[in-house]
C-alpha cells in the first residue's frame, strides 16, 4: 500500500489526521485555505458588530454584545492556531489578508446601519455559521475538528442573542418592527450566499467531501438553513424577502429563489459595499498594535536568555 492509499483508507474509515501524520500536499493546502479563510472571517466579522458596541440600547445589551465580539476574536485565535499546525504562520496569513490575497466570508462586507442589523447578524449569520460548522466538528483533521467543537457551543449562544434582539423589536412599536423587517431584507440573501456557490459551481466540494473535511454540500446546508429559519421568521411575524418561497409538502422542504450570484462574485472580487473599509480597518489595527507585539516578543526573548 502506498502512503496515499493508506491515507485514503484511514480517512474513509473515519480516522483522524494529526499534524505530524503523513498527508497529501493537496489535503494540507485545502485545509490551510479553508481554515485560514475561516479564521479571517471570525476576525473581520468582529467589525460590523463592533460598530454598535458604543451605541447598544442598554447596558445589558452592550455587555452581551461585548462578550460575543470577544468570542469571535477567540474563534479566530483557535483557527489560526489550527492552521499553523499545518506549517503556515499567522504572520503570513494576516499579511495575505491585508494584501487582499486571502478570502474571508462575503457576509462581512455588508454594513450595519441600525441596531436591528445586530439582531439579524446573530439570528441569520450565526445561524448559517452553526449549520455549516456543526458538521465540521467531525472533520478528518483533528485540530480543526477540536477547535470547531468549542466554537459551535459559543455560536449557539450568539444565535440566541440575535434572535432575542429581534423578538424584542418585533414585540415593540410599529417602527421597531419595521426596523427588524428592513434588517431581514438586507441580510437574507447575503446569508444564503455564505454557504458558497451552488454545488455544480463549487470546484472544491467533491474532493473536500471525499477527504471528510466537508460532510455536506453547499446546497444541502443552504436548504437545511432555509428549512430551520423560515418558521423562526414566521414566529417573529416577519416576511422573508423571496417571492418564490413556498412549502413543498411532498418533499417536506421550503423551496426558495436563486441568490444573485453576480453580486456574490462581485463581493468576492473585492467590490462589496464594505470590502475596502474592512481591510483598511484591519491593517490599521495591526499597525497600531505592533508595539504590543514587539514588547511581548522582547519580553519572551529576555525570559528565554539564560541568567548570566
Question: From the centroid of its chain, how far is CA 9?
Answer: 30
CA distance 254 to 69: 32
- Please say whether the beta carbons of 151 and 38 come within 8 A: no
| Sole window of 40-48, 232-240, 251-259, 275-283 interacting with ligand FAQ (rule: CB under 6 A) | 40-48
Please give the grid coordinates belonging to residue 220.
444541502
Contact flag: residue 205 with ligand FAQ (CB under 6 A): yes
- Please say whether the beta carbons of 276 and 210 come within 8 A: no
Supply the DSSP symbol for 17.
B
| Sole window of 2-10, 126-134, 223-231, 269-277 interacting with ligand FAQ (rule: CB under 6 A) | 126-134
Q: According to CB under 6 A, which one of 119, 127, 143, 196 is a site residue for ligand FAQ?
A: 196
Which parts of 223-252 interact with ligand FAQ (CB under 6 A)? none
Q: 12: helix, coil or strand?
A: helix
Beta carbon of residue 175, minimum distance to ligand FAQ (angstroms, whole number): 26
Helix/strand number for the chain, H first, E second? 14, 2
- Please say whether the beta carbons of 192 and 259 come within 8 A: yes
Q: According to CB under 6 A, which one of 32, 64, 83, 121 is a site residue for ligand FAQ?
A: 121
Contact flag: residue 200 with ligand FAQ (CB under 6 A): no
Contact flag: residue 42 with ligand FAQ (CB under 6 A): yes
| Sole window of 54-62, 191-199, 243-251, 276-284 interacting with ligand FAQ (rule: CB under 6 A) | 191-199
Sign of the Cα torsion 274, 48, 119, 54 reads negative
Sign of the Cα torsion 45, 259, 144, 160 reads positive
Please give the grid coordinates belonging to residue 129.
455559521
- Please say whether the beta carbons of 50 and 34 come within 8 A: no
Contact flag: residue 41 with ligand FAQ (CB under 6 A): yes
Q: According to CB under 6 A, which one of 93, 147, 194, 279 is a site residue for ligand FAQ?
A: 194
- Please say whether the beta carbons of 119 and 169 come within 8 A: yes
| Sole window of 21-29, 41-49, 139-147, 288-296 interacting with ligand FAQ (rule: CB under 6 A) | 41-49
Which parts of 142-161 interact with ligand FAQ (CB under 6 A)? none
Beta carbon of residue 18, minimum distance to ligand FAQ (angstroms, whole number): 20
CA distance 125 to 170: 19
| Sole window of 129-137, 175-183, 230-238, 296-304 interacting with ligand FAQ (rule: CB under 6 A) | 129-137
Binding site for ligand FAQ (CB under 6 A): 33-34, 37-38, 41-42, 45, 72, 103, 105-106, 121, 125-126, 129, 132-133, 193-197, 202-205, 208, 214, 218, 268
Amino acid at each position: 500500500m502506498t502512503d496515499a492509499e493508506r491515507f485514503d483508507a484511514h480517512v474513509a474509515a473515519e480516522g483522524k489526521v494529526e499534524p505530524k501524520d503523513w498527508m497529501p500536499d493537496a489535503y494540507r493546502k485545502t485545509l490551510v485555505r479553508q481554515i485560514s479563510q475561516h479564521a479571517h472571517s471570525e476576525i473581520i466579522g468582529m467589525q460590523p458588530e463592533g460598530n454598535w458596541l458604543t451605541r447598544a440600547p442598554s447596558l445589558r445589551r452592550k455587555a452581551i454584545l461585548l462578550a460575543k465580539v470577544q468570542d469571535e476574536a477567540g474563534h479566530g485565535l483557535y483557527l489560526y492556531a489550527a492552521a499553523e499546525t499545518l506549517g503556515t504562520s499567522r504572520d503570513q496569513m494576516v499579511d495575505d489578508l491585508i494584501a487582499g490575497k486571502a478570502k474571508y466570508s462575503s457576509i462581512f462586507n455588508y454594513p450595519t446601519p441600525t441596531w436591528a442589523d445586530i439582531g439579524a447578524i446573530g439570528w441569520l449569520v450565526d445561524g448559517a455559521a452553526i449549520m455549516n460548522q456543526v458538521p465540521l466538528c467531525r472533520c478528518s483533521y483533528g485540530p480543526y475538528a477540536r477547535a470547531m467543537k468549542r466554537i459551535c457551543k459559543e455560536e449557539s449562544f450568539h444565535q440566541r442573542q440575535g434572535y432575542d434582539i429581534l423578538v424584542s423589536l418585533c414585540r415593540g412599536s410599529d417602527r421597531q418592527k419595521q426596523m427588524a423587517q428592513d434588517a431581514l431584507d438586507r441580510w437574507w440573501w447575503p446569508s444564503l450566499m455564505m454557504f458558497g456557490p451552488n454545488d455544480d459551481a463549487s470546484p472544491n466540494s467533491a474532493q473536500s467531501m471525499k477527504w471528510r473535511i466537508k460532510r455536506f454540500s453547499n446546497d444541502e446546508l443552504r436548504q437545511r438553513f432555509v428549512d430551520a429559519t423560515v418558521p423562526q421568521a414566521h414566529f417573529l411575524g416577519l416576511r422573508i424577502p423571496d417571492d418564490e418561497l413556498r412549502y413543498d409538502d411532498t418533499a417536506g422542504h421550503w423551496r426558495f429563489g436563486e441568490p444573485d450570484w453576480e453580486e456574490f462574485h462581485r463581493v468576492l472580487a473585492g467590490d462589496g459595499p464594505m470590502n475596502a473599509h474592512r481591510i483598511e480597518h484591519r491593517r490599521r489595527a495591526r499597525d497600531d498594535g505592533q508595539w504590543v507585539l514587539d514588547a511581548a516578543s522582547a519580553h519572551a526573548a529576555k525570559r528565554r536568555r539564560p541568567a548570566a
